[in-house]
Every structure is written in C-alpha cells, then in structure tokens.
A and B are shown apart, each in its own frame.
Chain A
C-alpha cells in the first residue's frame, strides 16, 4: 500500500513539474494560434487535383514543398500564411503554376479559367480575412 502511494505521489509530482516546464506553443507571440483557414470543398478539390502532387510533405521535389506545403500551411505563423496565400494567388494569376514544364508531361493538371478564379478568389479572401480578424 505504501509503495503504491509513493509511486502515485512521484507520478503526480512529475506531472505538476511537466506542466510548468513545457510552455504551450500558442502562449508565445512568436508562434501563431492555429489559423482559422477554411478550405471549401470546391477549392479543396482543385488543390488536390492540381497542386497537392508537388506541394505536400511526401513530395519528392524539395524546392516545391519548401515553397509551399499544404500539409503545413495551417500550422505556420499567421503572417506567413498570408504570404503563402498571396503567393498562390499571384502564381496562379500569372500562369506560373502549375509550371509549364510540368504540364508538358501532365497536361491534365492544367487549371481552367473556372478553377483559376476559384483558387485565386479563395486565396485573396482568406488572406484578407486573416488580416482583418487577427
């Protein structure tokens, strides 16, 4: 009985110590609170079909996932998310994404006018919303 009690006291002490030692990430101004970024189904589908292949955690292209990684997007700091959203809008608007070389081998990944409009409008509106509702 005494042994069990001693073990429980040690465990409780350990838990109390850890709660002081570990500072939650969102307590710091350096880290963002998790972004409230809503991706509607239509936009999600466009991203999955046309962008996700290169811009995800498991992608083989180091540069492409360094520039934009959809798996990490909502975990970034809020100013960085706005920067990435603006980048998506500019890259799609200026026909830089998907890259022309990539489209030579995957013509089915080209964005049509409707998809482009959907993606850019979402990116701009989301960036705007994050800037207004911080």
Chain B
C-alpha cells in the first residue's frame, strides 16, 4: 500500500498534530509549589563562601529547593510534564529549603552525594544544563563545589 504525500495530506497531518497538542494541554498536571520564605534553607543557615552559594543557587536550586524559577515553556505540555516531574524528583531526593531539618548523618550523606554527582559531571542534569546556559559548571567550578562539600562535611562532623 502506497501513501501519497501531497499538500492535502500534509495539511491533515499538521491539523492532527495541532489538535493533539491542544488536547494534551487539558491533561491536569499540578505545578510544584514555590515558596521564597524558607527558614530551614541551606544558604540562609550556613556560613559558606558567597561564590559557592551563588553557584549552588544558580545550578541546583531550580530542582532542589522550593525557590524554583520556572522557565517560559513550563506551562506547555509535554514540556510541563518533564519539568514538573524533574522538580518533584529533585526535591524528593534533596531539598535545600529543608536543610536544617536533616540530621547530621543525612547532611553528610547529601554532601557526599553532591560531591560525587557534581564531581563526576552528572549534575546539573544534562538536558537542564543544555537549556539553561547559566546553570552549566566548568571544571574549576565543579572542583570548588566538591572541595566545599568535603570541608563542610568535616566541619559538621567535628562540630561540638
């Protein structure tokens, strides 16, 4: 069976795609909440080098805190599904807005994980870093973050 591609077929195909695009916008998908006042936040409660604070805020906070800055495309499905899922998963794994609620052992685990993920280049998540140029970290910046996680871990461990 041969499919003849002519002008009419293309118009029909575009029409179906547009209808499908409009239809998927109706699928409910609750946007993860944003709160800017977070008394348990990492940066607010920790003495850390301003450079590290800036890098973490720019490269991690969109998915790993309650202070998400939503991109312009977040209201359009299917982008919205991916963005909201990444934020939900990111916050579940590590939420910097809840930092002081963690036990010392949990903080040490989180810092060790940050060091491993940032050091290996697995974080920031590649698709996110492709779209968000400012969130990208170079080798030197990664080393600064990894060194900070090690130093902060020691400070926490030997405190008191």
Question: Residues of A at under 8 Å CB distance from B?
Answer: 29, 66-67, 77-80, 82-87, 90, 124, 127-128, 131, 134
Contact = CB atoms under 8 A, between A and B. Distances in A.
Chain A: interface secondary structure? helix
B138 to A, nearest CB: 22
Nearest to B153: A79
Given A66-B116, A83-B111, A84-B112, A78 B106 contact: no
Contacts of B158: 134
Given A79-B157, A83-B153, A131 B116 contact: no
B108 interface: yes
A87 B60 CA distance: 21
A84 B106 CA distance: 10
B154 A86 contact: no
Contact of A86 (B108, B116, B156, B157): B108
Interface of B: 104-106, 108-109, 111-113, 116, 153-154, 156-158
Given A66-B116, A67-B116, A80-B112, A86 B153 contact: no
Contacts of B157: 78-79, 82, 131, 134
Given A80-B153, A82-B157, A83-B153, A128 B105 contact: yes
B105 A127 contact: yes
Contacts of A124: 105
Given A29-B154, A134-B157, A134-B158, A83 B104 contact: no
In order of increasing CB-CB distance, the 7 nearest A-B pairs are A83-B112, A79-B153, A86-B109, A79-B157, A83-B108, A86-B105, A83-B109
A78 to B, nearest CB: 6
Contacts of A85: 105
Nearest to A124: B105
B116 A82 contact: no
Nearest to B111: A83
Contacts of B156: 79
A131 B154 contact: no
